Amino acid sequence: MELYDGLLTRRSIRKYSNESISRETLEQIIKAGMYAPSAVNKQPWHFIVIDEKAIHRKIMEVHPFSTMLEEAPVSLLICGDENLHNGPGYWPVDCAAATQNILLAAHSFHLGAVWIGIHPREERKEAISELMGLPPNVHPFALVAMGIPAEEKAAPDRFKQERIHYNKWEKGNEQV
């Protein structure tokens, strides 16, 4: 798959077969996350591989939009470390870039994946932190559920010419 094609065809996949994903493939996907850009190249992330159904079920009890974990053979918890970031406010941006790389890498391996948001919802962050035993300086950012896709989704046309501005905001481009 070519990179540009992958960018345009990646979809959020929430249904999976019960086939497992090899550790080697998971590590390659995580490696892609580690190659994301970060402020001053601080790389303030940690990744927790979750492949135990009991943990997925506990997450589903505290996160209202995580039901796809019931079918997912694996998920990755992306966390930001305050002790490693470039200063206040940077770890979430850096972890977002890592999460996007993970989603694209999963797609390149023909896996289905979906971003399950945790940050900035404090109640979700607290519950996941407690469940996963995170130290106080490490914050859960997002979960990525993934597996062999059991659904297909077509790529919609999302290009909106009216959202492009050159050199300054052009009058008449305001959205109503």
SS3 144: strand
* Residue 37 maps to a domain: yes
pTM of the model as a whole: 0.94
Provide the pLDDT for residue 18. Answer: 87
Residues in the chain: 176
- DSSP secondary structure, 101-167, as one string: HHHHHHHHTT-EEEEEE-TT-HHHHHHHHHHHT--TTEEEEEEEEEESBS---PPP----GGG--SS
* Residue 170 maps to a domain: no
* Residue 168 maps to a domain: no
Place of tokens 């200063």: 87
Provide the pLDDT for residue 89. Answer: 95
Provide the pLDDT for residue 59. Answer: 98
* Residue 87 maps to a domain: yes
Total of domains in the chain: 1
Q: What is the mean pLDDT of each run of 10 residues along the chain (176 residues)?
A: 93 96 98 98 98 98 98 98 96 98 98 98 98 98 98 94 90 63
Provide the pLDDT for residue 176. Answer: 47
Sign of the C-alpha dihedral computed for residues 103, 108, 46 and 133 taken in this order: positive
Structural domain containing residue 123: 3-163
CATH assignment of the domain containing 153: 3.40.109.10
* Residue 169 maps to a domain: no
Q: Between vectors from CA 68 to CA 141 and to CA 159, what angle results, nearest 5°?
A: 70
* Residue 172 maps to a domain: no
* Residue 174 maps to a domain: no
* Residue 176 maps to a domain: no
